Structure 1
Amino acid sequence: MSASTSSLAALAPTGRDARLLMRSGRYGGHTAGMAPGHVQGNLAILPKAQADDFLRFCQRNPKPCPLLAVSEPGDPALPTLGDDIDIRSDLPLYRVWRDGVLVDEVEDIGTLWRDDLVSFVIGCSFSFEEALLEAGVPLRHVAEGRNVAMYRTNLPTVPAGIFQGPLVVSMRPMKAADAIRAVQVTSRFPQVHGAPVHIGRPDLIGIADLGAPDFGEPVAVMDDELPVFWACGVTPQSVVMAAKPSFCITHAPGCMLVTDWLNHRIASF
């Protein structure tokens, strides 16, 4: 692990430690490396009027939107994911959207909370990254302490109600042998995006410049490496831009909900 990852692990060794750190306002950065072994989740919060459509959207698009939990309307708790979760304060940074436009980034959404809001927690690739590292597959963005690079593609999602838009992917550069191993490892984790959706030429999925990601930070792809692309939980933010719901809250990319679930418990085999 990098020094930054090691320090984050020491700062928050469990999911509850991580959540309390966010809730107290003592940390506002990305959560990669926090609470080693614990499942992290992407977040989308929508009014109840759009929640049924979004639920169907997730069901129809399980690669980018594998659902871990859905809250009751107006309830900030998610008891199936951990004790004492308060979705209004337990992430380091939130994004606020109005009519499909990003209008703010805030560390707490208590003042924005409403009785009709429904929270959706979606699986995150941080879980399979841990499995990749354990399998000896190097990850450059982790070694460099960067947020993973994410890109909008020309691959459509399956619509549901108002929700539709392009798939977002995350990219990790790998040598060919490591890419093959990565397919094997990540196939075991369908609840956190599963196997890659594309390997090699980014232009075939509408990505013009790997050096200019739409979200996250760029990493170099060496001459002996292939870019490997996974469906990404930032896809709902791309969909929100296209669908333009009147109000939505998401996580800021890389700033996840850290749960009490354990990564090894969600492996399918």
Structure 2
Amino acid sequence: MQTGGYSDFKNGLLEQATSLRARIRSGDHTATTSGLAQSLIQGNVVILPADWAADFLLYCQSNPVACPVIGISQPGDPALPELGRDIDIRTDIPEYQVFRNGERAEKVNDIQSLWQGDFVTFVLGCSFSFEDALIRSGLSIRNVEEGANVSMFRSNLATKPGGRFQGNMVVSMRPFISADAIRAIQVTTRLPKAHGAPVHIGNPELIGIRDISAPDFGDPVTVRSDELPVFWACGVTPQIALENARPPIAITHVPGKMLLTERLNEELAVL
């Protein structure tokens, strides 16, 4: 791609991100962000008081597949300039989940009234970024096809404890025929900051999932008789760790409703 053409392409994507975040900030978009802002990184979000941040960072560093860190804010600062020029984490997610003492207390569309001067924001890589890579490689993504949120499940796959945080992994699922599953492995292996290669393929009961049609988070999608369910580590995993650690307050995104950044998915790739 010529330099001018690439510059125009990226500028168009940045305008798209700004426009989408403006719609989210105004409350016009409160739905899933799956399939939106293709080519731009989307992020899972965890917001914690500063005295919990070191433990959470240790947990992420101990579990880089489920919790790949792509951004951390300064304490009390709602901006994330390395991820976007005008991001305000208090308003720029379609829907937030508020945890109080580990319990899912309420969902809100902005957190300005809840903001604390010691809050630290963590942004983690998201499988929606590798969905874009899969689509560009010619694969079809069922939840995008069906206009649904991705299916996410609590699994029996243990994560490594980090400080006060521990718990089992949440996994996201996308079905593929065998040949496409192999291709999906090849594509996602190059994206470790978007969870990388799958953690399980096939029989969901082997990882503690009894009913593939009843996800714990997100929406059910069609799994055809000739398809294998393919499971990736999911950025909702920290929400299980929050339930177990029980900080006095924590705020996350609602699963599937992500932070839209201004960085390109290709920046997550390894050669």
TM superposition score category, shorter chain reference: over 0.9
Aligned to 1:90: 92
Please state how far the C-alpha of 1:33 moved relative to its aligned partner. 2.4
Identify which of 197, 200, 203 aligns with 2:202.
Answer: 200
Q: What residue is the counterpart of 1:55 in the other structure?
A: 57
Q: 1:250 aligns with which of 245, 249, 252?
A: 252
Counterpart CA distance in 2 for 1:85 and 1:156 is 33
The AA in structure 1 aligned to 2:28 is R
Give, in whole Å, the separation in 1 of the partners of 2:125 and 2:268: 10
> What does residue 48 of structure 2 align with?
46
Corresponding residue to 1:186 among 183, 188, 196: 188
**How do 1:103-252 and structure 2 match up within 5 A?**
103-252=105-254
Q: Give the partner amino acid of 1:58.
A: C
CA drift at 1:18: 1.6
| Normalised TM-score (structure 1) | 0.94
Instruction: Name the aligned partner's letter for residue 99 of structure 1.
Output: N
CA contact (8 A) 1:14 1:38 kept: no
Asked whether the equivalents of residues 46 and 253 of structure 2 are also in contact (C-alpha less than 8 Å), the reply is yes
Question: What is the distance in 2 between the residues matched to 1:137 and 1:228?
Answer: 13
1: CA distance, partners of 2:91 / 2:269: 29
Q: TM (normalized to structure 2)?
A: 0.93
Question: Structure 2: where are the runs of 5+ without partners?
Answer: 1-11
How far apart are residue 138 of structure 1 and its match? 1.3
Cα deviation, 1:131-176, whole Å, max 9, x if unaligned, reads: 1111111111110000000000111110011100010000001100
Tell me by how many angstroms 1:13 deviates.
6.0
Residue 30 of structure 1 aligns with an amino acid whose one-letter code is T
Asked whether the equivalents of residues 38 and 258 of structure 1 are also in contact (C-alpha less than 8 Å), the reply is yes
Structure 1: gaps of 5 or more residues = 1-9
Question: How far apart are the structure 1 equivalents of 2:15 and 2:117?
Answer: 33
Aligned pair partner of 2:22 in 11, 16, 20: 20
Q: Is residue 79 from structure 1 mapped to residue 77 from structure 2 by the alignment?
A: no
Query: Aligned partners of 1:155 and 1:179: how far apart in 2?
Result: 21
State the SS of the aligned residue for 2:182: helix
**C-alpha distance in structure 2 between counterparts of 1:69 and 1:16, whole Å:** 18
Q: How much identity, in percent, do the aligned residues show?
A: 56
Aligned length: 259
8 Å contact kept, 2:155–2:171 = yes
Q: What's the CA shift string for 1:91-124, capped at 9, x where partnerless?
A: 1110000011111100000000001100000001
Residue aligned with 1:14, SS: helix
Shift of 1:198: 0.5
Query: Contact 1:44 / 1:120 at 8 angstroms: preserved in 2?
Result: yes
CA distance in 2 between partners of 1:215 and 1:242 (Å):
18
Contact 1:211 1:219 in 2 (8 A): yes
